[in-house]
Amino acid sequence: MQAIKFDENAKFLVTGGAGFIGSSICETLVNMGHHVLCLDNYSTGKRKNIEHLFANALFTLVEGDIRDASICNQVTAGVDFVLHQAAIASVPQSIEEPQLYHDINVTGTLNMLEAARLNKVKKFVYASTSAIYGDDESLPKKEGEEGNLLSPYAYNKKANEEYAYLYTSLYGLDTYGLRYFNVFGKRQDPNGAYAAVVPKFITELLANRAPEIYGNGEQTRDFTYIDNVVQANLCACLCPSEYAGQAFNIAYGASDNILELYETLRSLLDKDIEATILPPRKGDILHSFADISKAKELLGYNPQYSFERGIKECVVWYKKELA
């Protein structure tokens, strides 16, 4: 990762810090020598993701829910930077449980924005999503060229962006939305009906089972390794206030289809197993490829991990973890 430096006394809050992305952010900041407060209720995050940090005096865990405004106020007191990752993030599940998704992703984020405002946080960086581009067919995906939303989850994140803009324009809170594109890497949960495709494919192949592919496999994704996403969060914390209130694509800036991903994993794992093809899922975007020029120019984002480099590291981690 490129050199990123903060004041030595800087204090960070990572919501959803026991999750896949949040735990990597916590780990990176602690390794940099900074105080990190992690808020999580373990609804999707896992204790094992952060256990290796418990003995470090720089790391503090608070078990709590972002739907509880009093907890949000408590954990933002004295914090310089909020890295808001807490959410539930499945498009299919959001279609089945829209109210739950709204409560956590919209009301919870509003609680965090208000707490950050009241406690005079310097920067509020939050996770958005490429799902915001909806049915727009243009490629690459570019900020300001969104289509119709296709799921409650996409709506949640769009509402987050609108609230964040208002908190910047009305209250002067520096907010930065990061539209993640298909993040993958270590600690990503391979289990459950809505598991992300990379860990699902890897664990199924390692178990000599046939993974499931929804649709014809020709749908494309801008697969983004976790270290790129961590870098983007830290860059946003140092972004000039003149760019606050905006959202930025966070990806590598390349496009691979699901069948290509599967063939790459079969080769890396030396498995001769055919995937099971199933009908497409509602709400899924067909093609995803990000224009990351805005993040590069305004955030100083410079992703170091291509899909090829990231997937090799990912396979090594899962082979060791599941051995």
Count CB atoms within 10 A of the CB of residue 253: 19
Phi-psi group of 78: left, alpha or beta (phi > 0 → left; psi -120 to 50 → alpha; rest → beta)? left
Task: Measure the CA dihedral 161/166/168/172, to 10°.
Answer: -160
The contacts of residue 10 (CB under 8 Å, 6+ apart) are: 34, 35, 80, 81
153 contacts 90 by C-beta, under 8 angstroms: yes
129 contacts 179 by C-beta, under 8 angstroms: yes
Q: Where are the alpha helices (DSSP H) in the chain?
A: 20-31, 69-76, 91-96, 98-101, 108-118, 152-171, 197-206, 226-237, 258-269, 293-294, 307-321
| Closest to 295 measured CA to CA, from 121, 128, 86 | 128
Phi and psi at 124, nearest 5°, equal -125, 105
225 part of the active site = no
Task: Measure the CA dihedral 260/2/196/126, to 10°.
Answer: -140
Cα Rg of the chain, angstroms:
19
The amino acid occupying position 248 is F
Q: Across the chain, which distance is largest between two alpha carbons, in Å?
A: 57
The amino acid occupying position 312 is K
Q: Which of 101, 126, 133, 153 is catalytic?
A: 153
List, by residue number, the catalytic residues: 153
